[in-house]
Chains A and B, each alone.
Chain A
Amino acid sequence: MSCVQELVGLDQISSDFEDAGVKLMAVCVDAPSESRKVVKKNDLSFPILADEAREAIKAYGLVHAGEGPKGTDVAIPAHVLIGPDRKILWRHVSRRIQDRLSPKDVLEHVRGAAG
């Protein structure tokens, strides 16, 4: 089961996000070289940021401890829409692994969020 599918789905409507004035950025704990393969293979138009040190997922409170390869920490799947002054305009966090928003749902939330 691949979480990459969600990124591919978002990429398919990436121009809609652009039109809404929103820049997409994915974050995961994989090394840049790993993410580069994902970007190339799926021809993604947005960057994947490498949180190898788990700094961002800690700062955002999105640590799923011990669930990665060799018992490392990974991110809890989540979306955060951030506006000026780093104000959080909308957020969604998955409660179960299969609990995913469709790209269209994400776009609607983004369009509906103030700011």
Chain B
Amino acid sequence: MTKPDVNVATQKRAAIPALIGLLLTLAGPVAWILLMEHTWLWRTGLPAWVSMGAGLLIVLWAMRRDRRWRVRLPALASIGFSLLFVYGFYGEAALPAADAFEQLDVAPDFELRDHTKRTVSLADSLDEGRVLLVFYRGHW
């Protein structure tokens, strides 16, 4: 009995895995943002790296297996998106070094209005005990 004459190309189709890989890649940053309340996950970006990593492995595998454009396109989109995320995570989100802040020994005194427009002085506040200042970027 001879083997059935199968077309090699029909066996090596990977369009669906490529799409799944792309979805996993896109889901990574989404999961990261949804889980941002968990400070450690937010700081490390773990949900994004795990899901994007899995997605990338799948699209790379799919691209090797099936070289048609319907596989290549989602795979390339997946790779491009991952690179963008890496740039955003490490490049765009980088803050300037705060050397002057690191070298302060004595906290500069100030008088600022609080949210009720009452003037608050640091020195006066310290009469009642220690003060923890939390600088943040604003609510916008």
Contact = CB atoms under 8 A, between A and B. Distances in A.
Interface majority SS on A: helix, strand, loop or mixed?
mixed
Contact of A36 (B94, B116, B120): B116
Interface residues of A, number: 77
Interface of B: 33, 36-37, 39-40, 42-43, 45, 89-90, 93-110, 112-118, 120, 122-123, 125-126, 128-140
A37 B114 CA distance: 12
B132 A101 contact: no
Contacts of A55: 110, 112
Interface in A79-115: 79-89, 91, 93-102, 105-106, 110, 115
A61 B122 contact: no
Given A7-B136, A68-B138, A79-B132, A47 B120 contact: yes
A50 B33 CA distance: 28
Nearest to A28: B138
A4 B112 contact: no
Contacts of A35: 114-115, 139
A96 B95 contact: yes
Residue picked from A24, A64, A84, A94, most chain B C-beta under 10 Å: A94
A39 B110 CA distance: 21
A59 B118 CA distance: 21
A57 B132 CA distance: 15
Contacts of A2: 139
Contacts of B135: 26-28, 57, 60, 62, 75-80
B104 A5 contact: no
Contacts of B99: 61
Contacts of B94: 95-96
A69 B138 CA distance: 10
A7 B117 contact: no
Given A77-B136, A84-B126, A96-B93, A49 B105 contact: no
Contact of A27 (B43, B93, B123, B133): B133
